[in-house]
Amino acid sequence: MKLSLKEHRSTLARILNYIGVYRWLVLLSLALAAVTVATTLYAPILVGEGVDLILGPGNVDFAELAVILKQIAVVILITAFAQWLMNHINNRITYHVVKDIRTRAFNHLEILPLGYIDSHQYGDVISRIIADIDQFSEGLLMGFTQLFTGILTILGTLGFMLVVNPLITVVVVLVTPLSLFVASYIAKKTYAMFQLQSRTRGELTSLVDEMIGNQKVVQAFGYEDEAQQRFEEINERLRSCSLRAIFFSSITNPSTRFVNSMVYASVGVVGAYAAIRGILSVGQLSIFLSYANQYTKPFNEISGVVTELQNALACAARVFELIDEPAIPAEDSNAVDLKKVDGSVKLEQVSFSYNPQNSLIENLNLDVRPGQRVAIVGPTGCGKTTLINLLMRFYDVNRGTIRVSGYDIRHLTRKSLRKNYGMVLQETWLKSGTIRENIAYGRPDAALEDIIQAAKDAHAHSFIKRMPQGYDTQITEDGGNLSQGQKQLLCIARVMLCLPPMLILDEATSSIDTRTEIRIQKAFASMMQGRTSFIVAHRLSTIREADMILVMKDGHIIEQGTHEELLGQEGFYADLYRSQFAR
Q: Looking at the domain assignment, is residue 298 inside a domain?
A: yes
Q: Residue type at 326?
A: P
Report residue 211: phi and psi, to 5°: -70, -40
Q: Looking at the domain assignment, is residue 248 inside a domain?
A: yes
Is-contact 28 148, C-beta < 8 A? no
Q: Given phi > 0 = left and psi -120 to 50 = alpha, else beta, which region is 503?
A: beta
Residues 425 and 488 in one domain: yes
Model pTM score = 0.65
d(CA 339, CA 346): 17
Written in H, E and C, the secondary structure of 344-370 is CEEEEEEEECCECCECCEEEEEEEECC
Q: Looking at the domain assignment, is residue 220 inside a domain?
A: yes
d(CA 37, CA 48): 17
Q: Give the DSSP per-residue string, 525-552.
A: HHHTTTSEEEEE-SSGGGGTT-SEEEEE
Residue 315: alpha-carbon gap to chain centroid? 11
d(CA 152, CA 437): 57
**Which of 412, 414, 415 is closest to 403 using CA atoms?**
412
Q: Looking at the domain assignment, is residue 234 inside a domain?
A: yes
State the CATH number of the domain containing residue 52.
Answer: 1.20.1560.10
Is-contact 208 129, C-beta < 8 A? no
Q: Looking at the domain assignment, is residue 390 inside a domain?
A: yes
Residues 30 and 144 in one domain: yes
SS3 401: strand
Q: Which of 323, 353, 374 corresponds to the end of one domain?
A: 323
Q: Give burial (CB, 10 Å; 0-12/13-18/19+) of 269.
A: exposed
Residue 534: alpha-carbon gap to chain centroid? 35
Residues 148 and 232 in one domain: yes
Q: Looking at the domain assignment, is residue 2 inside a domain?
A: no
Q: Looking at the domain assignment, is residue 330 inside a domain?
A: no
Residues 319 and 350 in one domain: no
Full domain range(s) for residue 506: 345-581
Alpha helices, DSSP H, located in 251-351: 252-276, 282-323
Q: Looking at the domain assignment, is residue 172 inside a domain?
A: yes
**Which of 128, 154, 134 is closest to 41 using CA atoms?**
154
d(CA 539, CA 509): 10
Q: How many domains does the chain have?
A: 2
What does the buried/exposed string (b/e) look like for 108-136 if buried means 16 or more CB atoms within 10 Å of the residue's CB? bbeebbeeeeeeeeebbbbbbbebbbebb
Residues 424 and 562 in one domain: yes
Q: Which of 323, 355, 386 corresponds to the end of one domain?
A: 323
- Please state, in angstroms and as integers, the Cα–Cα distance from residue 243 to each residue in 196, 234, 308, following that order: 12, 14, 15
**Which of 349, 583, 557 is closest to 573 using CA atoms?**
557
Residue 77's pLDDT is what? 93
Residues 197 and 266 in one domain: yes
d(CA 379, CA 567): 17
Residues 292 and 437 in one domain: no
The residues pairing with 404 across neighbouring beta strands, listed in sequence order, are: 345, 407
Residues 312 and 349 in one domain: no
Q: How many CB atoms lie within 10 A of CB 73?
A: 10
Residues 443 and 562 in one domain: yes
DSSP state, 459?
Answer: T
Q: Which of 278, 293, 323 corresponds to the end of one domain?
A: 323
Q: Given phi > 0 = left and psi -120 to 50 = alpha, else beta, which region is 378?
A: left
Positive or negative, the CA dihedral 197, 198, 200, 201 is positive
Residues 393 and 299 in one domain: no
With vertex at residue 366, the alpha carbon angle to CA 362 and CA 367, rounded to the nearest 5 degrees, is 160
d(CA 325, CA 51): 64
d(CA 510, CA 541): 12
| Backbone Cα Rg of the chain | 36
End-to-end CA distance of the chain: 60
Residues 77 and 153 in one domain: yes
With vertex at residue 64, the alpha carbon angle to CA 61 and CA 70, rounded to the nearest 5 degrees, is 135
State the CATH number of the domain containing residue 414.
Answer: 3.40.50.300
Residues 306 and 411 in one domain: no
Residues constituting the chain: 583
pLDDT per residue as tens, the chain (583 positions): 445 556 667 887 888 888 888 889 888 888 888 888 888 878 777 777 777 777 655 666 777 778 888 888 898 899 899 889 988 888 888 888 888 888 998 988 888 887 787 777 777 788 888 888 887 887 777 776 677 777 777 788 777 777 777 777 777 777 666 666 766 676 666 767 777 887 888 788 888 877 877 777 777 777 888 888 888 898 888 888 888 877 877 777 677 777 777 777 777 777 777 777 777 777 777 777 777 777 767 766 666 676 677 778 878 888 888 888 888 877 777 888 888 888 888 888 888 887 777 777 888 888 888 888 888 887 777 777 788 888 888 888 888 899 988 888 888 888 888 888 888 877 778 888 888 988 888 888 888 999 999 888 888 888 888 888 888 888 877 666 787 778 878 888 888 888 888 888 877 666 667 776 776 777 777 777 788 888 887 666 667 778 888 888 877 778 888 888 888 888 888 887 777 665 4
d(CA 174, CA 182): 15
**Which of 120, 111, 147 is closest to 30 using CA atoms?**
147
**Inter-axis angle of helices 282-323 and 133-142, to 10 degrees?**
160
**Which of 280, 286, 406, 387 is closest to 343 using CA atoms?**
406
